[in-house]
Chain A
Amino acid sequence: MVLLENDAFLTELTRLFQKCRTIGSVVITLKKYDGRTKPVPRKGHPETYEPADNKCLVRASDGKTRISTVVSSKEVIKFQMAYSNLLRAHMDGLKKKDKKSKSKKTKAT
Chain B
Amino acid sequence: MPYYQTWEEFARAAEKLYLTDPMKVRVVLKYRHCDGNICMKVTDDAVCLQYKTDQAQDVKKIEKLHGKLMRLMVSKESHSGAMETD
Chain B residues close to A by CB (< 8 Å): 22-23, 25-34, 36-38, 53-60, 62-64, 66-67, 69-71, 73-77
Contact = CB atoms under 8 A, between A and B. Distances in A.
Given A26-B33, A30-B26, A76-B70, 6 more contacts: A26-B32, A31-B26, A32-B23, A84-B64, A94-B54, A94-B58
Contacts of A94: 36-38, 53-56, 58-59
Do most interface residues of chain A lie in helix, strand or loop, or is the interface mixed? mixed
26 contacts: A20-B31, A20-B32, A21-B34, A22-B34, A27-B29, A30-B69, A30-B70, A30-B73, A31-B26, A31-B73, A55-B73, A55-B74, A73-B75, A80-B71, A83-B66, A83-B70, A87-B59, A91-B38, A91-B62, A93-B33, A94-B37, A94-B59, A95-B55, A96-B56, A96-B57, A97-B56
